[in-house]
């Protein structure tokens, strides 16, 4: 199994993902957009046990579509978004793929909240699109 490493811009927060992600998901929701300062976020869905972090993150308690809290962790020094723990995805962590050291071998297969996608965004080849959240 492949171990992937990543971290924030300033280097305070570092992490390892110790096994292949369950999924690579592009999220177009307005919260991800704001939190990333970009058009969408790319997330690795990984088991909590496969995620190992050094350095403290701060977190924002956000509210997801489900009405349940999600915890958006970011570096308190440089502000890089690192990962999110969503109450409706218990035991899983959503790692912000843009913070990985290397992007090799990670092909997004799912796009969610496409109803909020930027008008210029071209659907990603080979990815299944959901207008809102994917069915559970
Ligand atoms: Zn930092």
Q: Is residue 53 included in any domain, yes or no?
A: yes
Residue 108: which pLDDT band, with cuts at 50, 70 and 90? very high
Q: What is the mean pLDDT of the chain?
A: 95
Q: Which of 18, 72, 64, 3 is nearest to 43 (CA)?
A: 72
Which residues contact residue 59 at a Cβ distance below 8 angstroms, ignoring those fewer than 6 apart? 71, 72, 73, 74
Q: Is residue 134 included in any domain, yes or no?
A: no
Q: Is residue 58 included in any domain, yes or no?
A: yes
Q: Which of 78, 76, 90, 95 is nearest to 27 (CA)?
A: 95
CA of 80 to the centre of ligand 1 (A): 6
Q: Is residue 123 included in any domain, yes or no?
A: yes
Domain range for 85: 4-129
For the residues 119-131, what does the mean pLDDT come to?
96
CA of 120 to the centre of ligand 1 (A): 31
CA of 72 to the centre of ligand 1 (A): 15
For residue 63, report the phi and psi dihedrals to the nearest 5 degrees: -115, 125
CA of 14 to the centre of ligand 1 (A): 9
Say how many domains are in the chain. 1
* Eight-state DSSP code of residue 134: P
Residue 136: which pLDDT band, with cuts at 50, 70 and 90? low
Residue 23 CA to residue 101 CA, distance in Å, equals 18
Q: Is residue 62 included in any domain, yes or no?
A: yes
CA of 5 to the centre of ligand 1 (A): 15
* Alpha-carbon distances of 47 from 90, 92, 95, 123, 132, rounded to whole Å: 9, 5, 10, 27, 23
pLDDT of 133 reads 87
pLDDT of 134 reads 81
CA of 96 to the centre of ligand 1 (A): 14
Per-residue pLDDT reduced to its tens digit, 31-88: 999 999 999 999 999 999 999 999 999 999 999 777 889 999 999 999 999 999 998 8
CA of 75 to the centre of ligand 1 (A): 5
- Pairing mode, strands 4-7 and 51-54: unpaired
Q: Is residue 8 included in any domain, yes or no?
A: yes
Q: Is residue 135 included in any domain, yes or no?
A: no
Q: Is residue 115 included in any domain, yes or no?
A: yes
CA of 130 to the centre of ligand 1 (A): 32
- 63: domain CATH number is 3.90.1590.10
Cβ–Cβ < 8 Å for 108, 121: no
């Amino acid at each position: 199994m492949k171990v992937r490493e990543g971290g924030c811009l300033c280097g305070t927060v570092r992490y390892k993902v110790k096994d292949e992600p369950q999924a690579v998901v592009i999220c177009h929701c307005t919260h991800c957009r704001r939190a990333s300062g970009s058009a969408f976020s790319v997330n690795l869905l990984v088991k909590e046990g496969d995620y190992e972090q050094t350095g403290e993150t701060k977190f924002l308690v956000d509210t997801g579509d489900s009405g349940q809290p999600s915890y958006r962790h970011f570096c308190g020094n440089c502000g890089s978004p690192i990962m999110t723990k969503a109450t409706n995805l218990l035991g899983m962590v959503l790692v912000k793929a843009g913070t990985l050291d290397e992007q090799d071998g990670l092909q997004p297969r799912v796009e969610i909240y496409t109803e909020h996608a930027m008008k210029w965004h071209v659907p990603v080849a080979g990815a299944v699109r959901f207008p809102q959240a994917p069915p559970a």
